[in-house]
Amino acid sequence: MKFRLGLTGSIGMGKSTTARLFAERGCVVWDADAAVHRLYSASGAAVAPIGALFPDAIEDGAVSRARLRDIIASDPTALPRIEAAVHPLVRADREDQARRHPGAIGVFDIPLLFETGAESEMDATACVTISPELQRERVLARGTMTEADLDRILSRQMPNDEKCARSDYVIRTDTLEHAAAQVQTVLEDIERRINA
């Protein structure tokens, strides 16, 4: 790829929408969550290593995310062991994407960009952000998790302010129009950097 942009942001900040805005402008988008789904699916590359660690996590030849959540909740040593097995597979999937699109601007949608050290593989980083109040409102409106679930997820992530401070670009996702305008500005700056 001619340029790699690492896109991050905490849950409910509008990262998926922002990634779509980049894709609509011709960028090749790689999604870490989608990669994990591929790796966990039947015959996916993560099935054997996860199965070796936690045989109960495998159901119908695939990694059961529900069973994995239960294991993580009951065993404090589980998550780091799972991450040690899965993160190298995710990195390999990301590198495969970059190899397949040599002339593209790649946007790598990685929720744990800084937490996993993946920013070192990027040419620049961008963080999506909104107020904590709007974030909480958005996540809880989905109806898929409780406040306690959200708090648990946030406790495992780097604070949003720190992610923003470490990023080359900050994209506010308060409205779709505002986010789209900022994505355009980021891409114009990236083109300048490529052609400098």
Mean pLDDT, range 185-193, rounded to an integer:
96
**Domain 3-187, CATH 3.40.50.300 — does that match?**
yes
pLDDT of 196 above 90:
no
Which residues are within 8 A (CB) of 13 and not within 5 positions of it... i.e. 6 or more apart?
Answer: 128, 129, 130, 135, 160, 173
Distance CA 45, CA 73 (A): 24
Question: Where along the chain do its domains lie?
Answer: 3-187
pLDDT, tens digit (0-9, with 9 covering 90-100), for 9-55? 998 999 999 999 999 999 999 999 999 999 999 989 999 999 999 99
Query: What whole-number distance in Å separates Cα of residue 84 and Cα of residue 86?
Result: 6
In the chain, the percentage of residues whose pLDDT exceeds 90 is: 82
pTM of the model: 0.88
